[in-house]
Amino acid sequence: MNPLTQFNRIRILPLLIAPALIALAALTPVRALATPGCGVFSVNLLDPVPAGAFADGLLDLVCRDSDFGWKLKTKVKGDSDVYVTKHTFGPGGQTGWHSHPGPSLIMVIQGTLTVYHDDCTFETYSAGQSFTDLGCGDIHNVRNEGGTEAIDVAVQIVPHGAGRRDDKPNPGCAQPPPCP
């Protein structure tokens, strides 16, 4: 056999195999990495357009109340959307692992919720308590571990046009159990 012919076959072989490997990879089912929620019903009480949209500079707030020793400082650069959402968690309901592109202020108004974090720690909040989520990559999963319905209301500030939520894979925590 001519050495030049053998060389050409070696060069052409990868060109013939590559499309077959690409097609095989494209058609092979892959399990989704995100962890879906279950048993949570969400209602937007305020959609950002037009009522919840704030132009750049409108969320630059400073307030000092000397009577109470209270101080507020908020400065947002860029246009923002504000959502107000009510979440109703059935027993065992959970949000699935996720993050938000901006901060959330959450008030538990009924039942008890457990917030799991990506470092596998958690806190529990009952009706009348509130908590915050910084967003900006803070990964968490909120779960109702009680036997009765739990409800929270969340106020979220996100960059204009951004999604409210970004699903994430389980960071390797054993709890909470996955959705049935």
- Report the chain's terminal Cα–Cα distance, integer Å: 63
pLDDT in tens, 48-62: 666 678 889 888 889
Asked whether the beta carbons of 162 and 82 are under 8 A apart, the reply is no
Asked whether the beta carbons of 91 and 144 are under 8 A apart, the reply is yes
Instruction: Kindly indicate the confidence band of residue 6, based on its pLDDT and cuts at 50, 70 and 90.
Output: low
pLDDT at 38: 94
CA–CA gap between residue 133 and residue 95 (Å, rounded): 14
pLDDT at 142: 97
Q: What letter represents residue 25's amino acid? A: A
Q: Is the peptide bond before 176 cis (omega within 30 degrees of 0)?
A: yes
pLDDT at 34: 65
Give Cβ neighbours of residue 120 (< 8 Å, ≥ 6 apart). Answer: 171, 172, 173, 174, 175
CA–CA gap between residue 105 and residue 132 (Å, rounded): 5
Asked whether the beta carbons of 39 and 148 are under 8 A apart, the reply is no
Given a cut of 70, whether residue 145 has pLDDT beyond it is: yes
CA–CA gap between residue 144 and residue 14 (Å, rounded): 54
Q: Report, as an integer, the average pLDDT of 173-180.
A: 82
pLDDT at 147: 95
3-state secondary structure of 103: coil
% of residues, the chain, pLDDT over 90 = 54
3-state secondary structure of 17: helix
Q: What letter represents residue 35's amino acid? A: T
Q: Is 77 exposed, middle or buried (0-12, 13-18, 19+ CB in 10 A)?
A: exposed
